[in-house]
Amino acid sequence: MSKGPGVQKMFDGIAPNYDRMNRVMTMGQDQRWRRFVVDKAGNPGQGWVLDLATGTGDIASLTGRSYARANVIGADFSLNMLQEAQKRFQEQSIAWQASDANHLPYNDNSFESVTFGYLLRNVDDSLQVLKEVCRVLKPGGRVVCLDTTPPEKNILYPFIRFYFRFGIPFLGRLIASDEAAYAYLTGSTMDFHSAKDLARIFTEAGFVEVDYKKFMMGTIAVHWGKKE
């Protein structure tokens, strides 16, 4: 069965508490990683930029503020998340659009860059989504992806595992009144591709100059690449 409908319902449910939970869970680090994403995507000039799985809109908003001449679209399939984004960033001229990452409603070769935060863990087939992203990028356009990544088995592993297994679901219950949604975050992180494997999938999808950087004791990865 496809993950889509369950994921959509889950994000519709946690939308009002999503930002607060993010700040607490990441100990205030999350905006720093989004800033890195926007810097890696580069200045699109007056071109179009797509922030896919935009959620409550942070990456789209940072893009708009960093590159004032850019045309920014924030797209997501959760209407409640999009509503939060719209409320938060009313003063910015961002186009908020409902769309599913598996079948993007955009023409080939449309965007200077496509960013997404915490999308790929939630889809059935990362390769299919990355091919779709490659299709809508202009030649030379950049993709930048932020997501959690399974921690490596080093000396910190037991502590990280404890935090993921118990700390995050506990915070989810306390702050978002939804332990299950945050237990899902833990499960989907542990089951996700390693950063190295994900880089390989970016290459398979047609991207070149693929690389990545890890943050937060190796639990967060930003991947990037370019359409030839």
Ligand X SMILES: C[S@@+](CC[C@H](N)C(=O)[O-])C[C@H]1O[C@@H](n2cnc3c(N)ncnc32)[C@H](O)[C@@H]1O
Q: Between 123 and 210, whose beta carbon lies closer to ligand X?
A: 123
Could you tell me the CA-to-CA distances from 117 to 157, 166, 174, 196 in Å, in that order?
24, 23, 24, 18
Q: Between 97 and 156, whose beta carbon lies closer to ligand X?
A: 97
Could you tell me the CA-to-CA distances from 176 to 70, 79, 90, 220 in Å, in that order?
34, 18, 24, 21
Residue 98 beta carbon to ligand X: minimum distance, rounded to whole angstroms: 9
Residue 162 beta carbon to ligand X: minimum distance, rounded to whole angstroms: 22
Q: Between 57 and 151, whose beta carbon lies closer to ligand X?
A: 57
177 C-beta neighbours (distance < 10 Å), count: 12
Q: Between 25 and 195, whose beta carbon lies closer to ligand X?
A: 25
Contacts with ligand X, residue ranges (CB under 6 A): 4, 7-8, 11, 34, 53-55, 58-59, 76-78, 81, 100-102, 117-119, 122-123
d(CA 147, CA 116): 8
219 C-beta neighbours (distance < 10 Å), count: 18
Q: Which residue is nearest to ligand X (CB)?
A: 55
Residue 158 beta carbon to ligand X: minimum distance, rounded to whole angstroms: 26
Tell me if 73 sits within 8 A of 44, measured CB to CB. Answer: no
Amino acid at site 75: A
d(CA 119, CA 106): 18
Residue 122 beta carbon to ligand X: minimum distance, rounded to whole angstroms: 4
Which residue in the block uniquely carries the two structure tokens 């091919």?
A: 131
DSSP H or E segment with residue 20: helix 18-25
Q: Between 18 and 163, whose beta carbon lies closer to ligand X?
A: 18
Residue 15 beta carbon to ligand X: minimum distance, rounded to whole angstroms: 8
Residue 46 beta carbon to ligand X: minimum distance, rounded to whole angstroms: 24
Q: Between 34 and 227, whose beta carbon lies closer to ligand X?
A: 34
